[in-house]
Amino acid sequence: MASRLNVTELDFDSIKNNLKDFLTQQSEFQDYDFEGSGLNVLLDVLAYNTHYNAYYMNMVANESFMESAILRNSVVSHAKTYGYTPRSVAASHAVLDFTVITDNNTPGTLTIPRGYKFMSNLIDGKSYGFVTLENKTVTKTGNNFVFNDLPIYEGRLVSYAYTYDSTSNPNRTFTIPESNADTASLTVTVQESSSNTDSRVFTTVQEYFEATSNSEVYFTQESVDGKYQIYFGDGIIGKTIDDGNIVVVSYLITNGPAANGADAFKATAALSGHTNFDIDVVLRGSGGSERESVDSIKFNAPLQLLSQNRAVTKNDYIKLINQRYPHFDSVNVWGGEENDPPVYGRVFISAKPKLGFEITYTEKEYIKNKILKPVSVMTVVPEFVDPDYTYLKLDIELFVDVTKAAATLADIEEQVRQYTLSWAATNLNKFDSYFNYSGLESGINILSKSILSNEVETMVGKKFRPDLLQAQSYVLDYGIELARGTTDDNFYTTPDFTMIDGDGIARQCYFEEVPSSYTGIESMTITNPGFNYTSTPTLEIVGDGTGAVALANIVNGKLESVTITNPGVGYTSAIVRIVGGGGQSAEVIPVLEGRYGQLRIVYYKADSLTNQNTKFVLNSDVNNGVIGSIDYTLGKVNITLFNPTNVNNDFKDIMIFFRPKSNIMRTTGNKIFVLDSGDGSSVTVESKLK
């Protein structure tokens, strides 16, 4: 039976083989199998042509769907049907406190004009120009004009003027000629004509159904060649423009992320004759980013359709902030009802910037008022919460056989250190993450053949900056259960600080953890009061300790409270049996005293005879020197009336590290685990040789 030509193959070789199979059925030409034959040349042409068409048809089909499209202009075009405009390149921006110093105090005002230019310090050998985007006027205070929180943006301001002609441009569309224009900086004005200089400012459209025939709005879209276009309304949605109108478009041409990190600026020109300036950097250059990638558009455009450009659910908020303000590493949003205590009617937002750890007031206000307010539910108030960082300290111990690899021990240790930092960069440093230490350990094991095994020891730390002038109380919330200290290495604090002891002598001090040595029952938590109790039941405390006695207190047939008359000794676990009393269902959980610990402050002093250092407790005469309490179960540390005179490091921050009870840790709300790559002691690697 004659075989049919198989038409489903797509690649050249399969198509050619199919044609050869087909030709086996005839005897007119037999040389199709030999590469040099004339027939083979014909087969090549036919197969190539078929392959070419198959590829082309495949591409056409792929590009027809958002999921499979590869070319940017196809993806952008699909996004357009979702009402989504991809984000353009974004300029890096910085905030300055800019002071103009004069030699007199004659009152007056000074205006810093749009486009006033500053040069940054060198970043990778290149200095970048930053400009102001708005005029700002201040009045003189003393001898100086002070511009507080002056925002500046990296890039070069350019303007284009187009004379509108409806015959050649019936769609009222104007293309921005540069592909690296930041559309957020666009200003559009329309001048009546060359003879009539009246002009109107058009703004970008926010709400399509609010645009009427008189709204002076423009629309933006990305064109086929990757450049942005603005277009005007048709006189029904958005005001239209007339022949002879001059459209002036002004915007910033920027280098995107290249200028991020600029932290020193100088003014380049005199300002109304003044040349003596003082510049403080409030926020260093940040937030510059490349235009939205194809993958990002594919991800965000359908979400935009789902959320209908409204901020209602948690993901709407996260999507909106990420899309309109691309300066954050990680954003988390939760409803106020999840807080403790609950705060209804509010949405809490926490964000970790790409550079540094905190976001400025200006940025928070901008996001709240310009991005979220217009699209959120009316009665829901967005509120920013600063991220709460929990610092991790990882001590990694390696068991190494150096004969198995060419690298030296120091190289292996450095490799492990770098791997750990990069692992942290992808797995930690963001909201809603969890610390998966077994993942880290198995990652380290396969780094090098010479690493036979490893162990990661974790500590969690909190940072606080004590007031050096007066005694204050501090609460450190670790948010996870902590391990009770049994040996010294469960607790670690840095740096040392100076305090004045009772004799007025300055001492170099450290914190010390004192786990409570009591092993009795601290209190009882009533989980169910029960019912129908007619007499007082007996509470039998059963556990590994001895001597604990507690009395029940029944009110209206229910267990109202429990009084502990003897805490007992030696308990590490206990349960309570409720016997008698006639009622039922009451349940009580005993709380062991070991849940708490104390903090005190110690210093070292050389003994006058032996000259050896001996440890002393500061102010031990008052309350045994106790300065704070530790709740291991809740992971909270309270420090009361702490009054150091100096903290012995540059930042004046004190860090207190505890070992967590479990190495599987999760973050919620505004908490973030951070492995600080700038801190050399955050990862230490030690090796044991085989």
Residues forming contacts to another protein in the complex (CB under 8 A) are 12-13, 27-31, 34-39, 41-42, 44, 48
Nearer Cβ to another protein (30/573):
30
Answer whether 625's CB lies under 8 Å from 618's CB: yes
CB of 234 to another protein, least distance (A): 50
CB of 11 to another protein, least distance (A): 9
Nearer Cβ to another protein (20/368):
20
CB of 33 to another protein, least distance (A): 9
Exposed (0-12), middle (13-18) or buried (19+): which is 37, by Cβ within 10 Å?
middle
Q: What stretch of H or E contains 199?
A: strand 199-204
CB of 392 to another protein, least distance (A): 55
Q: Beta strand pairing status for 156-163 and 574-579?
A: unpaired
CB of 50 to another protein, least distance (A): 12
Residue 248 to residue 192: CA distance in whole angstroms: 11
CB of 457 to another protein, least distance (A): 58
Residue 72 to residue 510: CA distance in whole angstroms: 59
Nearer Cβ to another protein (11/134):
11
Answer whether 255's CB lies under 8 Å from 180's CB: yes
CB of 37 to another protein, least distance (A): 5
CB of 200 to another protein, least distance (A): 60
Nearer Cβ to another protein (33/165):
33
Percent of the chain that is helix, strand, coil (3-state, to 5): 20, 40, 40
Nearer Cβ to another protein (41/161):
41
DSSP H helices in 29-166? 38-63, 72-81
Residue 554 to residue 583: CA distance in whole angstroms: 10
Residue 478 to residue 450: CA distance in whole angstroms: 36
In the block, tokens 């009451």 appear at: 586
Nearer Cβ to another protein (34/299):
34
Answer whether 151's CB lies under 8 Å from 95's CB: yes
Beta bridge partner(s), residue 371: none
Nearer Cβ to another protein (12/596):
12
> Angle between the 294-307 and 72-81 helix axes, to the nearest 10 degrees?
0
> Angle between the 294-307 and 314-324 helix axes, to the nearest 10 degrees?
140
Nearer Cβ to another protein (49/171):
49
Strands of 451-519, DSSP E = 451-464, 472-477, 491-494, 497-500, 506-515
How far is the first Cα of the chain from the last one, in angstroms, to the nearest whole number? Answer: 72
Residue 374 to residue 352: CA distance in whole angstroms: 23
Answer whether 90's CB lies under 8 Å from 287's CB: yes
Residue 87 to residue 296: CA distance in whole angstroms: 10
Nearer Cβ to another protein (9/397):
9
- Per this entry, what is the length of the chain? 690
Nearer Cβ to another protein (28/650):
28
Residue 239 to residue 164: CA distance in whole angstroms: 14
Exposed (0-12), middle (13-18) or buried (19+): which is 11, by Cβ within 10 Å?
exposed
CB of 52 to another protein, least distance (A): 9
CB of 32 to another protein, least distance (A): 9
CA atoms within 13 A on the CB side of 399: 7
Residue 151 to residue 206: CA distance in whole angstroms: 23
Nearer Cβ to another protein (28/503):
28
CB of 35 to another protein, least distance (A): 5
CB of 23 to another protein, least distance (A): 11
CB of 43 to another protein, least distance (A): 11
Beta bridge partner(s), residue 100: 145, 277
Nearer Cβ to another protein (48/208):
48
Nearer Cβ to another protein (38/356):
38
